Amino acid sequence: MRSPYHLQNNNSLVFQFMVSEYLAICQAFKSFEIAVQNNNYEAANMALIRLLGYQDKNLFPAFFGYADKGLLQQLQSSCQSFNLNDEDKKQPAQKLNLHAQKTYSLCYQVWKTVENRPLSPSSPLFELASPYIPKIQNFLNKIGRLIAKLFLQFEDDETILFFLLENHQTVDEVYKAPFVKKVFTKMFPQGLKTAEKYIIKQYSKRGYYHLLPQVLEAAKELQQKK
| Domain extents in the chain | 1-153, 156-225
HSE-up (13 A, CA, CB side) for residue 96: 30
Report the residue count for the chain: 226
Whether the upstream peptide bond of residue 178 has omega within 30° of 0, thus cis, is yes
Do residues 14 and 82 touch, judged by C-beta distance below 8 A?
yes
> What does the pLDDT look like over 180-214, one tens digit per residue?
999 999 999 999 999 999 999 999 999 999 999 99
pTM exceeding the 0.85 threshold for the entire prediction: yes
Angle at 195 between CA 192 and CA 198, to 5 degrees: 155
What count of other Cβ atoms lies within 10 Å of the Cβ of residue 224? 7
Give domain 1-153's CATH number out of 3.30.2010, 1.10.760, 1.10.357, 1.20.120: 1.20.120
DSSP state of 6: S
Give residue 120's pLDDT.
Answer: 58
Task: Report the pLDDT value the prediction gives residue 115, as an integer from 0 to 100.
Answer: 81
Is the pLDDT confidence value at 59 over 50?
A: no
